[in-house]
Amino acid sequence: MKRANNYSNRKRGHLAWMTAAAVVFYVIFAQRPLRYEQGLVRLDSVPVPESDAAAPSDRESYRVRGRSFILRPDQQGVMETDRAGVSLWTREFSSPLTAGSVSAAASAWGLLNGSIQVLDQEGRLLDELKPSEHAVSSAYPCVYGVAISENGQSIAALYGLDPQYFLVFSKKNHGYELAFEKKLESQVVSDQPASFSTDGLSVIGRTADGLAFYDVQKRKGMIVRADYFAGEAELLIEPIGLDRFAILLAKGNERFAGLIRKGVIEAMFLIEETGSGLSVSGDIMMIAGKNAIQRYKAAER
């Protein structure tokens, strides 16, 4: 009987040590400085094509997911054009655009008056999403960031002022229903990036509290790595592969490139400070600098 108790106590002791070790490992590895780049393999650096360098910045055109849009000079309307620049459709909005997200199936446009207009491929209004009608209450309704999933089934938004929320809506029957709501402690008053993964099962978006993440399948969300993404920072996000995100972060004069999957940072490292543009082709991530484009390949997991 006594021997059995000793065995049980020893077992408990081992369990306690293992738990403590796991916690220590978690603390060390989850909170360690972001210097690792295992998730991205540097391929090469190619010079910026002269045609790109010489081209004037076209402030009205918006090319995304193989589609081209021209914004109206008052930012209160949009026109989709084909490759030749011929108009396919135009849409006038009730107030100026503050955010936009485009997928193959649809597009979502966030407005200053707090509504999100969801349009189909021909520019027809599929839905006008007003978070205030989903019991989300802010003193000042305004959309600061928006993302739509590739199939148009989910929409995420950074919404409102006093307070501000990170929201995710899922399509149910004929409209969108609020699936996730995170009230934020800090607020922004400028446009912020947000994007769904290619498989549409996760979304990330920058908030003043940090990087907001939501898992569509688990219906759970959280704020990750507040230390890097909160405060004065700028971020670009592009989905890469099925479930990852390529990111380019600007904090002061420093630039970081990274890779995120399911809310976990797989790679994050310092790059040259002229890096200012982010694009993705297949599993290749490209960061455009002043004179060169750095190419990285997302490593197999």
Q: Is 139 helix (H, G, I), strand (E, B) or coil?
A: coil
Of 106, 112, 167, 268, which lies in the binding site for other proteins, with binding defined by CB under 8 A? 112
Nearer to other proteins by C-beta: 121 or 276? 276
Q: Is 291 helix (H, G, I), strand (E, B) or coil?
A: coil
Instruction: Give the nearest distance from C-beta 229 to other proteins in angstroms.
Output: 14
Integer Rg of the chain from CA: 22
Of 76, 121, 151, 170, which lies in the binding site for other proteins, with binding defined by CB under 8 A? 76
Our finding on whether 118 is near other proteins (CB under 8 A) is no
**Span from 5-13, 42-50, 256-264, 276-284 in contact with other proteins (CB under 8 A):** 276-284
Cis status of the peptide bond prior to 141, with omega within 30 of 0: no
Please check whether residue 102 is in contact with residue 64, taking contact to mean a CB–CB distance below 8 angstroms: yes
Our finding on whether 75 is near other proteins (CB under 8 A) is yes
Q: Is 21 helix (H, G, I), strand (E, B) or coil?
A: helix
Of 34, 70, 88, 178, which lies in the binding site for other proteins, with binding defined by CB under 8 A? 70
* Alpha carbons 298 and 47: distance in angstroms, whole number: 21
* Alpha carbons 253 and 153: distance in angstroms, whole number: 38
**Residues 208-247 as x/- pattern, contact with other proteins by CB under 8 A:** x-------------------------xxx-----------
Alpha carbon 175 to its chain centroid, in Å, reads: 23
Q: Is 146 helix (H, G, I), strand (E, B) or coil?
A: strand
- Residues of this chain that interact with other proteins (CB under 8 A) are 58-62, 70-77, 79, 81, 85, 87, 90-100, 112-113, 125, 128, 139-140, 142, 144, 161-162, 187-191, 193, 208, 234-236, 248, 250, 276-278, 288
